[in-house]
């Protein structure tokens, strides 16, 4: 304990030590150590198929209305609008056909589909399928082999369900760094990851409903439809926090751990906020760490 005090007194953790040293004394715990700790997260990239609403321009709507009035061949529509049959209007017909708003009969006559009719009646929005790359974060399992991955929004506090709505609004977001670019000093701790617990496409696909809910929450006006392929790109990332280690005075093997935010944790630091979820996750593997 003397060594720990020596490291802290006069250093950047001195004020933190004085603030929190007696936090659990009534429970029989004494603060024995404060150190920087880097916790693992995963940045993933996944190709997915999304459904998105398509805004139809006024010209496309006019074409649909003309078809309902019996002006329903390519030449008739172009003649009515004063356009050359091979003009840019051809692209509009392809667009309407592709999105199943119209169909072309054997006699080269255009008809509205049920979707086209519903759209004109403003009973349905037009939707299109598109493949995009989706970047997202996962929390590392930290030893929890049988639990699903937790999808992680870096712009929200991890404990946001316990925060007030106003407090969540003022949160600036976590500062996430690529792990391979970190420079670790002697007094910091970088939590390792287990190869067997790294994310795989199989695991993510088994959590399809959670993935869809997370995507739909993150991306507006687009809706998850399916995974485009089985490729999952993953990169190990880290967030820096501060670990405060308390020891049971009558049982040194029993510890209590607080993970708190530091100036390196968030984009706009305000206070050493306690991270309850992370404190629990790290506590369960603390004695397994080197």
Residue-by-residue pLDDT tens, the chain, 290 positions: 444 444 444 378 999 999 999 999 999 999 999 999 999 999 999 999 999 887 778 888 899 999 999 999 988 988 888 888 777 667 888 888 888 899 998 778 999 999 889 888 876 677 788 999 999 999 999 888 888 999 999 999 999 999 999 999 999 999 999 998 887 777 789 998 888 899 999 999 999 999 999 999 999 889 999 999 999 999 999 999 999 999 999 998 899 999 999 999 999 999 999 999 999 999 989 988 87
Question: Quick one: DSSP state of residue 41?
Answer: E
CB 106 within 8 A of CB 95: no
All structural domains of the chain with their residue ranges: 2-48+136-288, 50-130
Task: Tell me the pTM.
Answer: 0.77
Phi and psi (nearest 5°) for 120? -60, -35
Query: By CB neighbour count within 10 A (0-12 exposed, 13-18 middle, 19+ buried), where does 147 fall?
Result: exposed
CB 261 within 8 A of CB 159: no
- Joined tokens for residue 122: 């403003």
CATH number of 50-130: 1.10.10.10
Phi and psi (nearest 5°) for 101? -90, -30
């Amino acid at each position: 304990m003397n060594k720990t005090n020596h490291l802290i007194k006069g250093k950047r953790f001195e004020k933190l030590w004085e603030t929190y040293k007696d936090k659990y004394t009534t429970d029989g715990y004494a603060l024995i150590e404060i150190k920087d700790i880097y916790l693992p997260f995963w940045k993933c990239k996944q190709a997915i198929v999304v459904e998105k609403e398509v805004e139809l321009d006024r010209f496309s709507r006019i074409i649909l209305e003309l078809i309902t009035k019996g002006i329903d061949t390519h030449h008739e529509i172009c003649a009515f609008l004063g356009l050359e049959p091979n003009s840019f209007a051809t692209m509009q017909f392809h667009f309407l056909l592709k999105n199943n708003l119209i169909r072309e009969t054997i006699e080269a006559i255009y008809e509205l589909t049920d979707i086209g009719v519903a759209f004109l009646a403003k009973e349905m929005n037009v939707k299109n399928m598109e493949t995009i790359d989706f970047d997202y974060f996962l929390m590392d399992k930290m030893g929890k082999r049988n639990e699903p991955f937790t999808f992680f929004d870096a712009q929200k506090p991890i404990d946001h369900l316990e925060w007030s709505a106003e407090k969540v609004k003022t949160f600036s977001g976590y500062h996430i760094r690529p792990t391979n670019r970190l420079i670790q000093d002697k007094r910091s701790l970088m939590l390792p990851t287990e190869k067997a617990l790294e994310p795989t496409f199989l695991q993510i696909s088994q959590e399809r409903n959670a993935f869809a809910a997370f995507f739909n929450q993150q991306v507006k006006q687009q809706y998850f439809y399916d995974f485009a392929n089985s490729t999952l790109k993953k990169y190990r990332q880290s967030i820096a926090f501060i670990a405060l280690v308390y020891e049971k005075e009558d049982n040194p093997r029993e510890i209590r751990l607080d993970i708190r935010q530091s100036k390196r944790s968030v984009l706009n630091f305000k206070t050493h906020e306690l991270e309850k979820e992370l404190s629990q996750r790290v506590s369960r593997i603390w004695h397994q760490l080197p």
